[in-house]
Amino acid sequence: MSFCADDPRYLNCSSTIQCGDLQGISYPFWGLNRARYCGLSPEFQITCNKSAPTITITNQNFRVLHINNASRVLTVARSAYWYNLCPQYLHNTSQVAPFAYTSDTVTDNLTLYYGCPSISSINVGSMMESSRFTCTTNQSSIVGYVLVKKAGDFTSANLTSIRDYFGACNTSVIILVNLSAIQDIEANVTLDALKAAIKQGFGMQWPDDDGLCQKCLKSGGQCGQVQNSGEFTCYCRERSHSSSCPAFLAALTVSMTTVLLICFIRKTNLFKKERSENHCDVDEVMRNHGSLVPRRYKYTDVKKMTNSLSVNVGQGGYGVVYKGKLKDGRPVAVKFLKESKGNGEETAHVNIVALLGFCYEKNRRALIYEYMPNGSLDKYLPSQGASSATGPLEWKISYKVALGVARGLEYLHRGCSTRILHFDIKPQNILLDQDFVPKISDFGLAKLCKGRESVVSMLGTRGTLGYIAPELISRNFGGVSHKSDVYSYGMLVLEMVGGRNNYDAQLSKGSQMYFLELVYRHLEPDKGLQLRGINTPEEEETARKMIIVSIWCIQTNPSNRPSISKVIEMLEGSLDLLPIPPIPYLTSPPVSPKHFETTTSSSSVFINSKGQEVDKL
């Protein structure tokens, strides 16, 4: 990280989201390469699922078709109905807050009925035949009906018969579509017309910011939001401002003064380093831990913000962590360093813990991080002593945490100029903010891979017992690489699902395999997982997906594990496309293992959790 550079928040928010046909997505949206502070609430997060930009509102996924920043209109369509009019789970298009419908986004309801009685048994057959459609779900053909006419369009007798008929149907679903699409369906009710109407989508408008963003952009800044308060902020080259960047000359003067001052400090520090071997390079410490441009504090300031180191919140890698508070009221976590090892690399990602400041005075060295009010993930795992007040997490939050950690790892493995291997992914090093957004922390064991090497040379073993990949213990299992982090990630997700660490050092070899084999057996078709907290089909699907992905991640042979990018694709994709992985073995493989010849050859047949053949990973 260079001090003589733009604010990373400004640089991050200057980037735009590219996904499929949608290019240049910016404020108020965030996600992928744009950090959380570059957009508004969670409903404005964009994910990219197989080149399809997607947002989630009230637990429903919508495919983003078009964004009009001038009119603030977002055109979307229900993802579940994009390919099939009979999805596995049927839900109405619910409220879309914080978005709203306006005169510019004319929509109407399209009602689909499923599981209706035979129309031959009633006297509305001729009227209903034109509203009939067929579709397939779970390999079964389903007959459905669509109602687009209003009650006033029918005679009294017909209206009573139709109401009675639809009242006998098992399920009905309301889908919002464009009004013009409704008119097309009324003219000709066909399966293609229905699909076209849904894929045409509907418009909704996000709130007006009274021109704040335009004012910020015109001043040369980038729009964003203060996460703690939710207030608008304008990220400028040197720092953030409440509404707009200062005038050019004033900004240039401040910038040049800051550059000269910081460069002078750097030269002074380099001079001091030559005189004392015990002094650590400030840049090295900051690059090791930095994600935002930090502020330098005196040791006396650090003592004040931590109330004389009165609240100890934990023992992190290479130091003790204390809770503190900045002058503006923001809570922080202050880590006092024991030592600094190796070289570093700057990081800036929504799923990487952010550095706010530092202290460097001779042998007194501290890092000041954003404080995570929900603590670390281990507090929510029964195997780690979670209390009834904290855990376990709901399944949707567990999935959110698993996906967030994977995205953070993907950034470390692919998003930086130099690949970073963490080597200590475990619940204690996953911090949770107020919205349970996970942040990877504690890079004390991390290693840089120059030139994106596929295999890393290492001496000794790094990591925490229970999460260490086999190749870190014995090179007979393969070379150390980014797949070692994938293994640790798989163990983390498996523990989130199962509530226990099946590789705990205190367990016998038989016990180590017991939990994994037990869960594995329940992945067979027509068997429930029988895990606590599963109350809906969606939660069952989420748990199955997390288990399958985690078992793929902990395959003993590193070459059989997916990359972390593939892990994200698996988590965001369909459960039906995920093959069931083989059970990992716990012994060192022979030189030419027949096991992998039978499980990874092109002639192998992979089965998903429903007993269907699927492609291998």
- Opening angle at CA 7, ends 3 and 10, nearest 5: 160
Question: Phi, psi (5° rounding) for residue 389?
Answer: -80, -20
Residue pair 447/342 in contact by the 8 Å Cβ criterion: yes
Return the HEC string of 406-453: HHHHHHHHHHCCCEEECCCCCHHHEEECCCCCEEECCCCCCEEEHHHC
Catalytic sites, residue numbers: 424
E strand residue ranges, 262-337: 295-297, 312-316, 319-325, 331-337
The residue among 115, 114, 88, 109 whose CA lies nearest residue 174 is 109
Tokens coding 407: 């995205």
Alpha carbon distance 327, 366 (integer Å): 18
Residue pair 419/412 in contact by the 8 Å Cβ criterion: yes
Residue pair 461/473 in contact by the 8 Å Cβ criterion: yes
Peptide bond preceding 584: is omega within 30 degrees of 0, i.e. cis?
A: no
Distance of CA 86 to the CA centre of its chain: 28
Tokens coding 368: 């000041």
Peptide bond preceding 87: is omega within 30 degrees of 0, i.e. cis?
A: no
Peptide bond preceding 28: is omega within 30 degrees of 0, i.e. cis?
A: yes
Question: Phi, psi (5° rounding) for residue 176?
Answer: -80, 130
The residues, ordered by sequence, that sit 6+ positions from 398 with a Cβ below 8 Å of its Cβ are: 392, 496, 497, 542, 546
The residue among 569, 547, 540 whose CA lies nearest residue 496 is 547
Question: Phi, psi (5° rounding) for residue 265?
Answer: -60, -40
Annotated binding-site residue? 50: no
User: What are the CA-CA distances from residue 193 to residues 66, 185, 198, 351 (Å)?
Assistant: 21, 6, 9, 42
Buried/exposed code over 331-367 (b: 16+ C-beta within 10 A; e: otherwise): ebbbbbbeebeeebbbbbbbbbbbbbbbbbeeeebbb
Alpha carbon distance 30, 13 (integer Å): 9
DSSP letter for each residue of 118-154? PGGGSTTHHHHGGGEEEEEETTEEEEEEEE-S-GGGS
Structural Rg of the chain based on CA atoms:
28
On the CB side of 481, CA atoms within 13 Å amount to 18
Strands 319-325 and 312-316: antiparallel
Helices (H) and strands (E) in the chain, counts: 16, 26
Binding site, annotated residues:
335
Binding site, annotated residues for ATP:
335
